[in-house]
Amino acid sequence: MKISAIEKQKKDRQRYNIFMDGEFYSGLYEDTIVKYGLRTGDELSEADMEKIRSYDEFNYAKTSAYRFLAYRQRSKKEMILRLKQKKISLPSINKVIKLLEEQKYLNDEVFAYNFIKEKIKNKPLGKRVLADKLREKGISSEISEKVLKENYSEEDEFLSAGIVLKKYLNKGKFKSEYDKKSKCYRHLLSRGFDYDIINSVLSEMK
């Protein structure tokens, strides 16, 4: 096969259309074209082009991953879903995930630790809800349990529940003591605190 034309795309100025023997063959990024020194008139086999396209996709996947990480830390599941949305093949996704883990950009245990600390600081929650949220992010139950056990003690959870309760009492309206206790109980339960923590905090309220 012979490269008959290399034309810059209109929508993406970093990407070029490659024509082989007069017909469109593939789109490639400028970096890929420079790396392989592609020029009009070059003759390449199907195996050569497959190797070039594989590199191009991996490079695109890598760039997309770094951009996704620029906003905040990500879990492994979040990254995989993001790359799938970009229509990247599974082999390229696996290569990028491996690279990011080697570079310490992806680490579910570190992600879980930072996630928990941020949530506790900005919006105190109980262990149950935190575990659910970590599960949604793709964090394994093993990692979730380990990180919560090591970084969110019963005393920490009690203090968090106290903060939540105080805010709720300041803005809540209650018809009676029973109504107040009942609503406070349900509110703390909805924020993921377990029964023992709730009962302890409500006892302190008295």
Reported as a pLDDT band with limits 50, 70 and 90, residue 206 is: low
Q: What is the pLDDT of residue 44?
A: 87
Domains 1-44 and 51-106 share a fold: yes
Q: Which residues pair with 83 in a beta bridge?
A: none
Q: How many CA atoms lie within 13 A of 144 on its CB side?
A: 16
- What's residue 78's pLDDT? 96
| Structure-derived torsion over alpha carbons of residues 61, 66, 71, 73, reported in degrees to the nearest 10 | 100
- Of 74-88, 126-140, 169-183, the range with the lowest mean pLDDT is 169-183
For residue 29, which amino acid is it?
A: Y
In this structure, CATH architecture of domain 1-44: Orthogonal Bundle (1.10)
- Per domain, the residue ranges of the chain are 1-44, 51-106, 108-205
Over residues 147-152, the mean pLDDT reads 92
Q: How far apart are CA 116 and CA 148, in angstroms?
A: 8
Distance of alpha carbon 111 from alpha carbon 75, whole angstroms: 6
**Domain spanning 51-106: CATH 1.10.10:** yes
Does residue 152 carry a pLDDT above 80? yes
91-107 pLDDT per residue, tens:
999 999 999 999 999 99
Q: Is the pLDDT of residue 12 over 80?
A: no
